Structure 1
Amino acid sequence: MPYRPKVPCKQPGCAALVEPGKQYCEKHLPLHPEVTRSAGKRGYGSRWQRESKQFLQAHPLCAECMKQDRYTKATVVDHIIPHRGDPRLFWDRSNWQSLCKPCHDKKTLTEDINPVYRY
């Protein structure tokens, strides 16, 4: 039975090949702790689930859509300034905003493209 071919490392400019299902080569894996650490270990545990649910109940509409006079139900609590592992910034409610999934994905893709984490 044939094997699946190796795929390129997702680190920009890296030509190393990795096994299918992996994203980064051994050299670049330490730069992306979100790949190896669970969401709970990154701070998104039961407390975050509880707090974000309360925040969404208090702020039910997407902040980005409202700027464009659209009213869309928010489903994600986003950190306005990415916390990058800083617990003070992570739990600062003034740094939170409610977003719909498409707006959150767009913001994450454009603003958080090259993260640097401090755990």
Structure 2
Amino acid sequence: MNIKKRCGKIGCKALIGIKETYCSQHKNYNHKRYEQIRTSTEEGRAYKRFYDTKEWKSLRYQAMLRDGFICVCCGKEAKVCDHIIPTKVRWDLRLDINNTQSLCFECHNKKTKQDKIKYNL
């Protein structure tokens, strides 16, 4: 029996062997390096600390519950609670439930790309 799992790169749907971590397309992806870069500045560490707080985790759950754990864009199962206006643009709205939405990984990745262009992030 050949057991498969999904590639460890968020959003990738490729199936790989159970003992592998990433598919051939993402085999050079280094999540630990990404985290090092992301938290190398005080601003990055502040964002990381925020997403580890009880307040955010509680708000995230409430928002996901409100949306029925369904992506508001496509109707698939939601995995991410997204800030509609990014926290890098409006930090003061980070705990406003009206500034959150439930998204699947694919829709979240698309929105993130759009936000980078829209807000010049």
TM range (shorter): 0.5 to 0.7
1:40, distance to aligned residue in structure 2 (A): 4.1
When Rg is computed on C-alpha atoms for both structures, the one with the higher figure is: 1
Task: Say if 1:52 and 1:77, in contact at 8 Å, map to a contact too.
Answer: yes
Q: Which structure 1 segments of 5+ residues have no match?
A: 1-20, 66-70
Match of 1:63 in 2: 72
Aligned Cα root-mean-square deviation (Å):
2.8
Give 1:97's aligned amino acid.
Q
Identity of aligned residues (%): 33
Alignment coverage as a number of residue pairs:
82
Deviations 1:33-71 (A, max 9, x none): 32xx16442x21222112201211221211111xxxxx2
Q: Structure 2: where are the runs of 5+ without partners?
A: 1-32
Quote how far apart the aligned CAs of 1:80 are.
Answer: 0.8
TM-score, normalization: structure 1?
0.55
Moved over 3 A (4+): 21-24
- Superposition TM-score, scaled by structure 2 size: 0.54
Q: Distance in 2 between matches of 1:40 and 1:23?
A: 12
Judging by fraction of residues, say which structure has more helix: 2
Query: Within the alignment, does 1:54 sit opposite 2:58 as a pair?
Result: no
